[in-house]
Chains A and B, each alone.
Chain A
Amino acid sequence: NAGVTQTPKFQVLKTGQSMTLQCAQDMNHEYMSWYRQDPGMGLRLIHYSVGAGITDQGEVPNGYNVSRSTTEDFPLRLLSAAPSQTSVYFCASSYATLSGELFFGEGSRLTVL
């Protein structure tokens, strides 16, 4: 049982480049979300999805794009990377939005030069 899988684990980008962080879950969870964690801080919600075809913005959505074409996958796209997007990114999923326990992937460390 893989749970929540994120790739890549590490990535270095130059300012202006674009990339996609992949997230997949094999638990048939409805709810998926992306967070970023900056040093010494808690996790902040970027985007979330309550089911295939439905996405919404979280607390810090600017500069990021998401889509949810399948229940299993929830990729996060950086359109034009900026140094302020240097962070650790976590993907999470849960069975339901109102009563679900969150499960996290292992994180993706992104550095933008």
Chain B
Amino acid sequence: GIQVEQSPPDLILQEGANSTLRCNFSDSVNNLQWFHQNPWGQLINLFYIPSGTKQNGRLSATTVATERYSLLYISSSQTTDSGVYFCAVDTNAGKSTFGDGTTLTVKP
């Protein structure tokens, strides 16, 4: 099946810093989503982005489907950005596959 790799696995930032999270996938996909899992375990939809670029406040995402990767940018990070960021892809089979996530810690 499709492989999804996220990097880096862990990231520690000082409040106010910027960061880039990467998601590589091994095959063509129909969907790609970014999620934030907060410290309480809730999965929050950030972006639905099978291709192109989207922005939502301090967060933005870019997916280059032809090169099989997606990037999540976090600018001016805040402590509330801490948690695990997951990338999930959906192939023609309709099954979503998740990466192992990037654990982000933002220190005050």
Contacts and interface: CB of A to CB of B under 8 A. Distances in A.
B50 to A, nearest CB: 8
A41 B45 contact: no
Interface residues of A, number: 26
Nearest to B101: A42
B interface majority secondary structure: strand
Given A42-B100, A44-B98, A101 B92 contact: no
B41 to A, nearest CB: 5
B44 to A, nearest CB: 9
A41 B97 CA distance: 12
A107 B98 contact: no
B19 interface: no
A101 B33 contact: yes
B98 A43 contact: yes
A79 B96 CA distance: 25
Contacts, number: 56
B72 to A, nearest CB: 15
A48 B45 CA distance: 20
Nearest to B37: A37
A97 B92 CA distance: 8
Contacts of A42: 4, 86, 98-101
B1 interface: yes
A33 B96 contact: yes
A104 B35 CA distance: 10
6 tightest A-B CB contacts, nearest first: A97-B94, A42-B98, A101-B48, A104-B43, A43-B98, A42-B100
22 contacts: A33-B96, A35-B98, A42-B99, A44-B98, A45-B95, A45-B96, A45-B97, A48-B94, A59-B95, A59-B97, A88-B41, A97-B94, A99-B30, A99-B31, A101-B31, A101-B48, A102-B33, A102-B96, A104-B43, A106-B42, A107-B42, A107-B43
